Amino acid sequence: MPNSGGTIIFSVSGHVAKPGNYELPMGIPFAELLEVAGGMQGGRKLKAVIPGGSSCPVVPAETMLKTNMDYDSVKAAGSGVGSAAVIVMDETTCMVKVLERLSRFYMSESCGQCTPCREGTGWLNRLIKRIMAGQGRREDIDLLVQVANKIEGHTICALGDAAAWPVQSFIKHFRHEFEYMIDHGGRSIVGAQQVAA
């Protein structure tokens, strides 16, 4: 790949059979990287991937399985190679709960210097917790995106962007999970799907 020569160390975690660090050529297809990491744990289905660490936008499985792991290809898929910390999530993953965990991390990591990040990361986490507690409203989903948009690009360091991008991408690709949880008093769509199956 013209803009992605050499090797990179992919740190693969999540629902894979063999999580670990793998030095591989840039541009390897994600599907091959997944094989190197032993495939999906327990033979479950791939749901989503964060290809470059927790600050990078999430990518749905169907897109990720067609993507090569190089800068241009991952950017075209709507995310980034970032630190090459590849987080793999299977079909049992509740995306609302994952986003709450990520938002809590960025809220804790904010140094507090920039108002959009200091205040915004707390707002994001509290809104998601409200949804999980069964007290969410449909308009909270758009409010989450609005808060993330107000943080992105308005801070001295990149932590604000890192807090905003997961929110924007999770809602873009998995909005239905947030809607379901709001409509069902805090219950996850994942549990409902497993009961139905």
Question: CATH number of the domain that 83 lies in?
Answer: 3.10.20.600
Q: Which of 28, 60, 90 lies at the terminal end of a domain, its last residue?
A: 90
Q: Are residues 36 and 117 in the same domain?
A: no
Q: Which of 67, 90, 113 lies at the terminal end of a domain, its last residue?
A: 90
Q: Are residues 144 and 75 in the same domain?
A: no
Q: Are residues 21 and 86 in the same domain?
A: yes
Banded model confidence at residue 138, pLDDT cuts 50, 70, 90: very high
Query: Which residue range is the domain that position 69 belongs to?
Result: 7-90
Give residue 3's pLDDT: 73
Q: Are residues 99 and 168 in the same domain?
A: yes
Could you give the percent of the chain with pLDDT greater than 90?
A: 94
117: CATH: 1.20.1440.230
Q: Are residues 100 and 173 in the same domain?
A: yes
Domains in the chain, number: 2
Q: Which of 38, 67, 90 lies at the terminal end of a domain, its last residue?
A: 90
- Residue 1 domain flag: no
Q: Are residues 129 and 147 in the same domain?
A: yes
Instruction: Give SS3 for 16.
Output: strand
Q: What is the pLDDT of residues 39-70, one digit of tens each?
A: 999 999 999 999 999 999 999 999 999 999 99
Q: What are phi and psi of 157, to 5 degrees?
A: -105, 180
CA distance 32 to 45: 16
- Residue 65 domain flag: yes
Q: Has residue 194 got a pLDDT over 90?
A: no
Taking the model in full, what pTM does it have?
0.93
- Residue 59 domain flag: yes
Let me know the angle formed at the C-alpha of 110 by 104 and 116, rounded to the nearest 5 degrees.
100
Q: Are residues 80 and 143 in the same domain?
A: no
Q: Are residues 186 and 100 in the same domain?
A: yes
Q: Are residues 58 and 151 in the same domain?
A: no
Mean of pLDDT values over 116-145: 97
Are the C-beta atoms of 49 and 173 separated by less than 8 Å?
no
- Please state at what angle helix 95-109 crosses helix 115-132, rounded to 10 degrees: 150
Mean of pLDDT values over 162-185: 98
